[in-house]
Amino acid sequence: MELREECGVFGVTFPEKTNVAGMVYYGLYALQHRGQEGCGISVCSDGVFTSVKDVGLVSEVLTNDTMKKFSPGKTAVGHVRYGTTGGSTRMNCQPIEVNHRLGRMAIAHNGNLSNAEQLRKELELSGAIFHTTSDTEIIAYILTKEMLRGVSTEQAITESMNKLEGAYSLIIMTSDKLYAVRDPHGFRPLCFGKTADGGYAVASESCAISAVNAEFVRDVQPGEIVVFGSDGPRSVTSGCGKCLKKTCIFEYIYFARQDSVIDGIPVHESRKQAGRILAKEFPADADIVVGVPDSGIDAALGFAEESGIPYGLGLIKNKYIGRTFISPGQDNRLDRVKIKLSPVRSVISGKRVVLIDDSIVRGTTSRRIVRLLREAGAAEIHVRISSPRFLHPCYYGTDIDSEEHLIASNHSVSEICAMICADSLGFLPLETLRELTGNNEYCAACFDGKYPTPVPGDSGKDRFEQKIITND
Ligand code: SF4
């Protein structure tokens, strides 16, 4: 509820020229939940690249007027942004376009590099001048340097992957091909589908593949490069030797859209399963189960199903509000949570409520929601959280903050329960996370501190070394 996503990427390629910008527009619309700070599209038409990007929602940036700038083309790539590295200015919007001696490319990136600082320093010391503060430009620089050696694009991507650490799901457009690239751990999702007229669509989530009427083909595998050329898709493994699937577990819990399927696991089912587990591990004597929209609803359905307590539509979300709503002015007398969420008094009043939310980060939002329900007449409020306690920051493209800002890092469950004014509180047990992802390996570092890659700073390095010792 207090967290924001990373970014979303979408690209298409067709055998013949068509309205590729329009297709990307619809794809980005379906991915808007992954980033609402900025967006953009780059189209390649007869080798000429045209881009439109700016801060704002898809509907604000890609208007009838701006879309007229695009000519029909065979390939296009787009991006929705929530800035986790670098600020939210226009210069950091994507796709990033690069012109070099041997060609052109446009890159859209989802994720964060965990070694961005070190790579940037090395590049700057060797003469690089950066125009943005986003780590995507670091990827663009490294890739361009490799391409300028005269190797093939896929070889250049493979070489670049050996230097990058952390999370990157990329779509790269050159003047004749589209490349889908997923980092060796596959932190962020990436998949592709096929259209009826022989085109291909690549997207962060399968919901965007469906949005453009393409048929889902498969996920891009960790460490895989899929090349889309005139002869269809061709798979290249990066050969980087570090491939070990660690899909972000929080994609299933919160980031992804409910109708998406990531690495074969439907997100909705995964969330329902979290609710069922909570009902077994932390049952409550209650009259009604209420989910905090949007991502708490699926888990609430699972809790209701398992416990036999009826689900009730006790909280309504303002449909016309983005996740990054900012109140105009500084009037703190107005409660921002109240603008986003309204309790349904007829459902809540006099009831013992089980309230399901996806996470507690700082605790402020949870406290306000509990207060809303009390004001609506709830007799008791039993809070159940469909993720474990956040104890560590994330370095892979989310804004899960430093430990000092994470309430669970500094307080016990009973202290948090008192702080949010709930009658009882239960978090999803860490050891049950596996039940959400089937046999897929996952990253849960923000919950267990076991980072799949080295992370910035001495303490992070210590943690990584500690992790290796522990695993032994
Ligand atoms: Fe996802 Fe947490 Fe891992 Fe970040 S640290 S990639 S949020 S599971």
Pocket test for ligand 1, best of 82, 254, 392, 398 (most atoms within 8 A of CB): 398
Between the CA of 397 and the centroid of ligand 1 the distance, in Å, is 8
Between the CA of 430 and the centroid of ligand 1 the distance, in Å, is 13
Q: What percent of the chain has pLDDT above 70?
A: 90
Q: pLDDT tens for residues 370-429?
A: 999 999 999 999 999 999 999 999 999 887 767 888 999 999 999 999 999 999 999 999
Query: Residue 264 in contact with residue 220, Cβ under 8 Å?
Result: no
Fold of 8-245: Glutamine Phosphoribosylpyrophosphate, subunit 1, domain 1 (3.60.20)
Pocket test for ligand 1, best of 85, 248, 402, 450 (most atoms within 8 A of CB): 248
Nearest atom of ligand 1 to the alpha carbon of 452: 3
Domain boundaries, the chain: 8-245, 270-322+333-437
pLDDT the model gives residue 319: 74
* One-letter amino acid for residue 74 of the chain: K
Q: Give CA–CA dist 282/354, Å, rounded.
A: 10
Nearest atom of ligand 1 to the alpha carbon of 442: 8
| 275: helix, strand or coil | helix
Pocket of ligand 1 (CB under 6 A): 187, 248-250, 394, 396, 398, 400, 443-446
pLDDT the model gives residue 318: 84
pLDDT band, very low/low/confident/very high, at 34 (cuts 50, 70, 90): very high
Mean pLDDT within 346-360: 97
Q: Tell me the three-class secondary structure of 374-421, residue by residue.
A: HHCCCCEEEEEECCCCCCCCCCCCCCCCCHHHCHHHHCCHHHHHHHCC
Interhelix angle 136-147/153-161, nearest 10 degrees: 130
Between the CA of 289 and the centroid of ligand 1 the distance, in Å, is 28
Between the CA of 411 and the centroid of ligand 1 the distance, in Å, is 21
Strand 191-194 relative to strand 178-182: parallel, antiparallel, unpaired? unpaired
Give which of 154, 161, 164 is closest to 122, Cα–Cα.
164
Pocket test for ligand 1, best of 110, 169, 394 (most atoms within 8 A of CB): 394
pLDDT the model gives residue 463: 40
Between the CA of 90 and the centroid of ligand 1 the distance, in Å, is 27
Looking at domain 270-322+333-437, its CATH class is alpha beta
Helical residues (DSSP H) of 264-320, grouped into ranges: 267-281, 295-307
Q: Which residues contact 214 (CB under 8 A, 6 or more apart)?
A: 193, 194, 195, 199, 200, 201
Confidence (pTM) = 0.91
Q: Report, as residue numbers or ranges, the catalytic residues.
A: 7
- Paired strand residues for 290: 355
Q: Which residues contact 385 (CB under 8 A, 6 or more apart)?
A: 278, 356, 357, 358, 359, 360, 425, 426, 427, 428
